[in-house]
Structure 1
Amino acid sequence: MEKIKGFTGFKKNGRLIGIVAAVLAVLLLSGCGTGMSEINAQTPGFFNHYVVFPLSYLLVHIAGWFGGSFGMAVIILTLAVRLLLLPLMMRQARSQQAMKRVMNSMQPELDELKRKYEKKKDRDSQQKMQQEMMALYKKHNFNPLNIGCLPLLIQLPILSGMYTAIRFTPDLAAHSFGWFQLGKPDPILAVLVACIYLLQSKVSQMSMTPEQRKQFAIMGYLSPIMMAVFSFSAPAAMPLYWTVSGTFLLLQTLLFRKLYPSDTAEKSTDVKLNDAKSKVKTVKG
């Protein structure tokens, strides 16, 4: 249950923007290859020429370094792109934790504001409540619209370009890697992708409160299911890409939890330490 109406709107808008961004990503990924059988220097389109083709070019040359292994090329290029985006994601993680700390510090004042106008439902009172809320935001230098969409907008073209480059790079589909052919679906990879994204979702929710976990429970299962459905029908090169990218995201999430621990985790640690101290005193007594 949310603390205050204005705050509820902010959180709902944040989730809505995330959902819209995900839908746009799917549309972009599915639309990039419309009417295109392969990517080369003559393929028309700004995105194809300046994003997709350079990535396809790198795929071919990296494969040459590994004896023509396009599977290794997909792995190496995926890791390179993720490492390139890592500083941006670290900056986003720091900003999110800073925003959470501000939200926690102003929560008592928000609760007081809610109690003040709890029984005042008329229009004038609601307008005054919104004005006081905006003043409170200004006091704490808190911007409710700053929900971290910019990193998503920056990385989306790069990751979409990776998807399209892998899908339409000539000769990639004819090669094999491990037990599967890159151009044909592989059920084992599909299950692996689903497991990785499910685990990544669970790890991401570890820093949330119990209420937040309930809110995001369905989304936590929806993403792995969607990835599995796509992977069962997609050429194996795509699940390979998603497997490497998902594993990197999982490790990245664990790293960020170490570097930028949430207040919830810190409070949980303090409670455990206090309980341990109490037990020690009880034993000594």
Structure 2
Amino acid sequence: MDKNSIWGLVIIGAILIGYTYLTKPSAEEIKAKQTRDSIAKVEQARDLQLENEKLSALKAIEAEKQKDPEHLQETFGVFSSAAAQKEEFITLENKLVKIKVSNKGGRIYSVQLKDYQTHDSLPLILWEGDKNRFGMTFYAQNKAIDTQDLYFTNEEGIENIDASSQQKTLSMKLSAGDDQYLEYVYTLAPDSYMLDFDIKAIGLNNIISRNQSTLTFNWQADLYGKEKGRKNEDMYTALYYKFHEDDVDDLGISGEKEEDLTTQVKWIAFKQQFFTSALIAKNTFKGVKLKSVDMGEHSPILKNFSAEISLPYSGDVKESYPMQFYFGPNHYKTLRKYGKDIQLEKVINLGWGIFGWVNKYLVIEVFNFLEKYMSNYGLIILLLTIFIKLILSPLTYKSYLSSAKMRVLKPQIDEINERIPKDKAMERQQATMALYKKVGVSPMGGCLPMLVQMPILFAMFRFFPSSIELRQKSFLWASDLSSYDSIAQLPWHIPMYGDHISLFCILMAITNLVYTKMNGQMQTSTQMPGMQAMMYLMPVMFLVWFNNYAAGLSYYYFIATLFTVVQTWAIRKWMVDDEKVLAMLEASKKKPVKKSKFQQRLEDAAKQANQRKK
């Protein structure tokens, strides 16, 4: 930039500053503007109040109109007597759950899990309020009926029913005349998260439209966040369903998804990270429409789930639809005890294939065993980690020994590379493999033991964020092992990282960095360009990825990696000596090389082919 350009910019800047100073309003003008703004705000508030008063008046007129007998008769027909009443509630309760039932719609209004609280110490309510839908829709005498708009009656009177000591049954009826009603029957057993729910249509065959072959049951709920880490909780909140005598599927965790299921379905579950509301058919559901809507990170609602279930209607005097609700924790053994045929425990994502098997038959069993004898979950994770690492110790030793063999052979491999030029790559490879075969070393010997350990590594990645046992359990500075730990809160949000600093995540990244460096010192050959830098980049990426993950998971990876570092150091110092390994390999060269049966067959076939050519 030349001198004239610089002076030009300075003059333009001075003009702008001068213009701003000369045109700024005086104190009197500022005061007058503030007065005008105040008057405008008062007028705006007055207009808003008048608008609200008009709206309230219109609502009052509409409410009175809704109570008019002629209007009710025209809208609801034989159900008109159930259209204008006062909403009241009945409570079904045992030691585990408190279920509030409203006479409006006869529906479940809310469910409280008594042994649990939200992260901010409030009662844990699975779903609550008028925004959630729960009811039947059908046509009766050519009128569209939605039971959620009508009032049911409890023949025993509106009262609280305590089912803490014995099984209690609550009957809610929607009357259409003598011996004509729709009935919801709720039965809650003591010490159970399962609620029996039966729908009965009695004497409605002359009221419900004859051409109607199905009745529709609608269930919809807004799921609010209950855990400290919203991002992590959102990842484990999804609408699940199980096909009859088949596997479990879900609608995914993001966006807006819909599914129209024409095959038989056993159950539908509104599942959050640690709690589930599930509707289970005693038989099966044969027509189901599902919808899942992700409400976005700025909404207090995580997701909105809805299920529209078609119930077959044959027009008989008595129709019955037996179902069950499960309202409870996502605890593997708790879900399992309600029936292996239901497979409700599959709402817990323990991983597919071998990863799930490792969790079910190893990790969960050991974890539950340790849980019987101690209540400190940090120590339980520590002992679980040590137990798993000790089981894998032989594989760790074999992996290190294989690396040591490759390392001591490096001078001989370098000699082969110097002797055979680069343009004869195939000849180099053949000579190298011949050396490996002669001394009895496999280049894959160090990889296979590591591959065997991978299922456990991935299984633990699924186990800790899904383990309700860790929920709201503290250890050291972590207040909740099922959510992220934080030693400092940042004044701003960093994309992908978050607005806090997780110490367990930092410790995990440091131990991975140490292990990466230790492995780098044991490399037997030059790596591909950029591979070394990539290996050192991974711990940094872990620092970003795991900052918002469960503290229990970061703590496990930290302990597991630290244990591996100590193991590797101990093996290197006391168990594996490079000179002894080299001497062992040199001794192997003097032994005749054993050929496998497959290799011998290949050589015999080659000889026979040559003889035929001759």
Matches within 5 A, 1:15-94: 37=273, 38=330, 40=332, 41=336, 42=343, 43-44=345-346, 46-47=353-354, 50-54=357-361, 55-66=363-374, 68-94=375-401
Equivalent position of 1:25 in the other structure: none
For residues 21-46 of structure 1, what are the alpha-carbon distances to aligned partners after superposition, in whole Å with 9 as ceiling and x for unaligned? xxxxxxxxx99x99584462443465
C-alpha displacement at 1:112, in angstroms? Answer: 0.9
Matching of residue 154 in structure 1 with residue 452 in structure 2: yes
Q: How many equivalent pairs are there?
A: 222
C-alpha displacement at 1:58, in angstroms? Answer: 2.1
Are the equivalent residues in 2 in contact too, given 1:207–1:262 (CA < 8 A)?
A: no
Secondary structure at the counterpart of residue 161 of structure 1: helix
Change (3 A) 1:150 1:58: same
Equivalent position of 1:176 in the other structure: 474
The higher-RCO structure (CA 8 Å, 6+ apart) is: 1
Secondary structure at the counterpart of residue 241 of structure 1: helix
C-alpha displacement at 1:60, in angstroms? Answer: 2.8
Secondary structure at the counterpart of residue 185 of structure 1: coil
Matching of residue 138 in structure 1 with residue 434 in structure 2: yes
Are the equivalent residues in 2 in contact too, given 1:190–1:232 (CA < 8 A)?
A: yes
Secondary structure at the counterpart of residue 65 of structure 1: coil
C-alpha displacement at 1:101, in angstroms? Answer: 2.7
Higher strand share: 2
What is the root-mean-square deviation of aligned Cα atoms in Å? 3.4
Equivalent position of 1:16 in the other structure: none
C-alpha displacement at 1:237, in angstroms? Answer: 0.8
C-alpha displacement at 1:157, in angstroms? Answer: 1.0
C-alpha displacement at 1:87, in angstroms? Answer: 0.6
Distance in 1 separating the partners of 2:436 and 2:355: 44
| Aligned residue among 95, 100, 110 for 2:402 | 95
C-alpha displacement at 1:240, in angstroms? Answer: 0.9
Are the equivalent residues in 2 in contact too, given 1:39–1:52 (CA < 8 A)?
A: no
For residues 171-228 of structure 1, what are the alpha-carbon distances to aligned partners after superposition, in whole Å with 9 as ceiling and x for unaligned? 3222111221212212122222222222222233334489669965413431211221
C-alpha displacement at 1:78, in angstroms? Answer: 1.0
Aligned partner letter, 2:446: G
Matching of residue 260 in structure 1 with residue 576 in structure 2: yes
Equivalent position of 2:29 in the other structure: none
Change (3 A) 1:39 1:216: farther
C-alpha displacement at 1:257, in angstroms? Answer: 2.4
Distance in 2 separating the partners of 1:203 and 1:245: 15
Change (3 A) 1:209 1:157: closer
For residues 108-149 of structure 1, what are the alpha-carbon distances to aligned partners after superposition, in whole Å with 9 as ceiling and x for unaligned? 2331112xxx6xx6xxxx4xx624641553255167752533
Secondary structure at the counterpart of residue 403 of structure 2: helix
Higher helix share: 1
Normalized against structure 2, the TM-score is what? 0.32
Moved more, 161-170 or 42-51: 42-51
Equivalent position of 1:111 in the other structure: 418
Unaligned runs of 5+ in 2: 1-234, 239-248, 251-270, 274-329, 337-342, 347-351, 486-501, 583-614
Instruction: Give the greater-gyration-radius structure (CA).
Output: 2
| Aligned residue among 532, 540, 547 for 1:232 | 547
Aligned partner letter, 1:50: W
Identity percentage of aligned residues: 21
Change (3 A) 1:60 1:222: same
Unaligned runs of 5+ in 1: 1-29, 267-285
C-alpha displacement at 1:106, in angstroms? Answer: 3.9
Are the equivalent residues in 1 in contact too, given 2:400–2:568 (CA < 8 A)?
A: no
Distance in 1 separating the partners of 2:533 and 2:385: 28
Normalized against structure 1, the TM-score is what? 0.65
Change (3 A) 1:69 1:105: same
Distance in 1 separating the partners of 2:560 and 2:429: 41
Are the equivalent residues in 1 in contact too, given 2:377–2:470 (CA < 8 A)?
A: yes
C-alpha displacement at 1:105, in angstroms? Answer: 2.3
Moved more, 214-223 or 177-186: 214-223
For residues 239-281 of structure 1, what are the alpha-carbon distances to aligned partners after superposition, in whole Å with 9 as ceiling and x for unaligned? 1111111211211221232233557xx9xxxxxxxxxxxxxxx
